[in-house]
Amino acid sequence: MPRHGRKYREAAALIEAERRYPLGEAAELLPKLSISRFDGTVEAHLRLGIDPRHADQLVRGTVVLPHGTGRSTRVIVFAQGEKAQEALRAGADDVGSEDLVKKIDGGWFDFDVAIATPDMMGMVGRLGKKLGPRGLMPNPKSGTVTFDIERAVGEIKSGRIEFKVDRAGIVHVPVGRASFTPDQLRANVAALVDAVNRSKPSGAKGTFMRTLTLAPTMGPGVRVDIPSALAAASA
C-alpha cells in the first residue's frame, strides 16, 4: 500500500529530493505542490545551528511580511482610556480591560494575537496559565506589550508575524498562501530569512541557518538554497 496518495506522488515527482532550489525556482514550484482543494498555507521550516537549551542561543523576533500571510488576524487589546480608543481606531477586533480579562478567564479565545499596554500587565498576568500555553500571552520581546498601540495593531493586521525557535532548533512560520504569486512568496520568505539572520544569538557557533524547507498545508516540501534567500533579502 503506498504511503501517499496519487496526487501527492505526482506533486513529489516535480521535485529533485536532494536539490536545494534557488528561492525564485522554489516559489515558482510551490503552487504546483499544493494538493488541497482549499487555498493552503505555505509554511517555512528553518533549521538553525543552535542549541535552544542554552539561554544565549535562543532565537525569537518579529517580521512584517511584505505581502502578509493571506489571512485576517484577529487582534485584541488590553487597554483603557485614550489607548483603548487608539486601539479601536487602529482596527482592533476587541478592546477592554477587566471585562476582557473576565471574558477570557471564562473560556473565550476567539483571537490570534493579544496586545497590552504595560500598565495593564498586572491584570493580564492573571491569565498567564491560560494564554501562555496557547502562545497568546502579550510579551515585550514580541512587541505585544507597548504603549504604541496604533503601530502594533497596524503591523499585525498588515502581516507582522512572530518567530521563535522550538526545542529542536527549528523555526516554523507561515509565509503566505498557495494562491500567492511567486514574487509575493519570494519577497515574504526573503524578509523572514533576513529577520532570522539578524536575530543570530551571540552564543551561536558554526553555520547558523542550516536548512530551509517551504511546504504547503497539503503537499510535499521543497528545500531552498539559503544563500539565494539572503541574496533576495539584500537585493
Give the domain-ending residue among 157, 173, 188.
157
Q: pLDDT, tens digit, for every residue of 22-32?
A: 999 999 999 99
Q: Residue 50: name the closest of 234, 220, 223, 208 by CA.
A: 208
Same domain, 36 and 81: no
| Domain-located, residue 129 | yes
Q: pLDDT, tens digit, for every residue of 58-75?
A: 898 889 899 988 888 899
pLDDT tier for residue 206 given thresholds of 50, 70 and 90: confident
pLDDT tier for residue 190 given thresholds of 50, 70 and 90: very high
| Domain-located, residue 13 | no
Domain containing 34 equals 19-69+160-234
The percentage of the chain sitting over the pLDDT mark of 90, rounded to a whole number, equals 70
Q: What average pLDDT does range 145-159 have in this prediction?
A: 92
Q: Residue 164: name the closest of 124, 184, 192 by CA.
A: 192
| Domain-located, residue 10 | no
pLDDT tier for residue 2 given thresholds of 50, 70 and 90: low
Give the domain-ending residue among 128, 157, 186.
157
* Alpha carbon separation from 15 to 42, 51, 144, 199, 222 (Å, rounded): 16, 31, 39, 31, 7
Looking up residue 128, the CATH number of its domain turns out to be: 3.40.50.790
The residues that bridge with 45 in the sheet, in sequence order, are: 172, 213
Looking up residue 50, the CATH number of its domain turns out to be: 3.30.190.20
How far is the C-alpha of 169 from the C-alpha of 49, rounded, in Å?
Answer: 7
First to last CA, the chain: 47
Same domain, 33 and 52: yes
Q: What average pLDDT does range 83-91 have in this prediction?
A: 95
Same domain, 34 and 100: no
Same domain, 47 and 30: yes
The residues that bridge with 174 in the sheet, in sequence order, are: 43
Provide the number of structural domains found in the chain.
Answer: 2
Same domain, 42 and 88: no
In this structure, the strands spanning 60-64 and 75-78 are: unpaired
The residues that bridge with 116 in the sheet, in sequence order, are: 78, 145
